[in-house]
A and B are shown apart, each in its own frame.
Chain A
Amino acid sequence: MTTSIEARLRAHFAEQAARDDLGEPDPRAAVTRALAAPRPTEQGRGRHGRPGRPLRLAVVGGPAAARVHPGPRDRKQRRQLAGICVEEEAMGGAHERWDRLAPRGRPAGWVCREALDAARRRGHRVGGQGCPPAIVPGDGTVADPEIAAAIARLPLDQRSVVVLHFHLGWQALRRLESTLAEQA
């Protein structure tokens, strides 16, 4: 009797599964949700033992946003961690490291700075000057090779201002202009 029930169960599930068309599995959906969805359960550290607000951190250069816990209190340590994270992020590395990051104030700007520092450090490690030289492929993958090459020849600080302003739409250029005007 039991065996016949077992066979019937197997047949039922197999048939039922065959009738239920789920479509193609789409792992990107889970990845996007993991990176974008606010998670009320993962909260910042509030004062006096109370839970803080959920924290999110926009990652410069991609659609990714990660929630974070306040990390080490030590400023230097936090910056080092951020540098590691940004490097790993750039290489498609581990997102869970973000958990230990600590954005205070303006996280996007902070991450951008750490990313540039990390890139600089890497440049120093390989003995380069400032940042590894940009390579502009001439195979049609670059929209405007001429301007790309010109941008690549800029010093890192100038290049980052150009990118922040024209790519991310930040007000960096205007601020830089006014700073320069004040200095003049």
Chain B
Amino acid sequence: MELTAEPVRSFEDFYRAEWPGLRRAVGFVVQDRELAGECVDEAMTRAYERWAQVSVMERPAGWVYRVAVNEARNRGRRHKVERDKQPRGSLAVVPGADSVADPAIAAAIARLPLDQRSAVVLRYYLDWSTEEMAEALGVATGTVKSRLHRALQRLERSLGRQA
């Protein structure tokens, strides 16, 4: 998929277009709705502060995503609740069962390491291309592919065990 530079747009337009998707994506990744809200707000605030630089990036949303997830990581570290270091097989925090679309897959996603979960959410929720993901995560495209591959393998295994 070819990366096309988006025309420079106003911060307001960008926010309206990208905020809901980013907010949910970060929520899926950090597994905490409130934390995701705070971190995306923080990232959006920083984007506004340096909008002249951010707006001319290929994918401003990728930048905001990365800042938000880093922020969540840092806060998690500060509060010693590193969700991606949960012991394998522990019950992941999944909100009330009836509010989850697919509890089995939600639990399997929650058990993934954060980097793999991030790759899964960006690909299957936000539908980003490998190149877009690589740029947003600041890693090589090969790294994105291998993270996705390993994530899917892991999901298959953990869903297979449940079945």
Asked if A177 CB lies within 8 Å of chain B CBs, one says: no
Check if A16 sits within 8 Å of B41, measured CB to CB: no
A8 to B159, CA, bound (A): 11
Residue-wise interface mask of B (91-110) relative to A, using a CB-CB cutoff of 8 A (1 in contact, 0 not):
00000000111100110010
Residue in B closest to A3 when the chains form the complex, CB atoms: B152
Asked if A183 CB lies within 8 Å of chain B CBs, one says: no
When distances are taken between beta carbons in the complex, the residues of chain A under 8 Å from B44 are 27, 30
Asked if A34 CB lies within 8 Å of chain B CBs, one says: yes
Whether A19 contacts B99 in the complex (CB less than 8 A), given A12-B105, A34-B45, A96-B52, comes out as yes
When distances are taken between beta carbons in the complex, the residues of chain A under 8 Å from B100 are 16
- Chain B binding surface, main DSSP class: helix
Which of A33, A94, A95, A96 makes the CB contact (< 8 A) with B41?
Answer: A33
* Smallest CB separation, A92 vs chain B (Å): 11
Asked if B114 CB lies within 8 Å of chain A CBs, one says: no
* Smallest CB separation, B136 vs chain A (Å): 17
Check if A34 sits within 8 Å of B16, measured CB to CB: no
A14 to B21, CA, bound (A): 11
When distances are taken between beta carbons in the complex, the residues of chain A under 8 Å from B159 are 5
When distances are taken between beta carbons in the complex, the residues of chain B under 8 Å from A2 are 152, 156
When distances are taken between beta carbons in the complex, the residues of chain B under 8 Å from A30 are 11, 15, 41, 44-45, 47-48
Asked if A126 CB lies within 8 Å of chain B CBs, one says: no
A13 to B44, CA, bound (A): 23
A1 to B160, CA, bound (A): 10
Whether A34 contacts B101 in the complex (CB less than 8 A), given A22-B23, A27-B16, comes out as no
Check if B125 sits within 8 Å of A17, measured CB to CB: yes
Residue in B closest to A33 when the chains form the complex, CB atoms: B45
A33 to B45, CA, bound (A): 6
Asked if A180 CB lies within 8 Å of chain B CBs, one says: no
A29 to B19, CA, bound (A): 12
Query: What is the total of A-B residue contacts with beta carbons within 8 Å?
Result: 84
Whether A13 contacts B49 in the complex (CB less than 8 A), given A19-B99, A19-B101, comes out as no
When distances are taken between beta carbons in the complex, the residues of chain A under 8 Å from B51 are 96
Check if A11 sits within 8 Å of B101, measured CB to CB: yes
Which of B24, B27, B50, B106 makes the CB contact (< 8 A) with A96?
Answer: B50
Asked if A144 CB lies within 8 Å of chain B CBs, one says: no
Q: Indicate the member of B16, B102, B106, B156 with the most A CB atoms within 10 Å.
A: B102
Check if A13 sits within 8 Å of B125, measured CB to CB: yes
Asked if A159 CB lies within 8 Å of chain B CBs, one says: no
A30 to B10, CA, bound (A): 13
Asked if B28 CB lies within 8 Å of chain A CBs, one says: yes
When distances are taken between beta carbons in the complex, the residues of chain A under 8 Å from B124 are 6, 9-10, 13
A13 to B20, CA, bound (A): 13
A17 to B23, CA, bound (A): 10
Q: List 13 A-B contacts (CB under 8 A).
A: A8-B102, A8-B105, A9-B120, A11-B101, A12-B106, A13-B28, A16-B106, A22-B23, A27-B44, A31-B11, A31-B48, A34-B45, A96-B50
4 smallest beta-carbon distances between A and B, as pairs: A15-B101, A27-B15, A13-B125, A9-B124
Query: Which residue numbers of B lie inside 8 Å of A, CB to CB?
Result: 11-12, 15-16, 19-20, 23-24, 27-28, 33, 41, 44-53, 99-102, 105-106, 109, 120-121, 124-125, 152, 155-156, 159
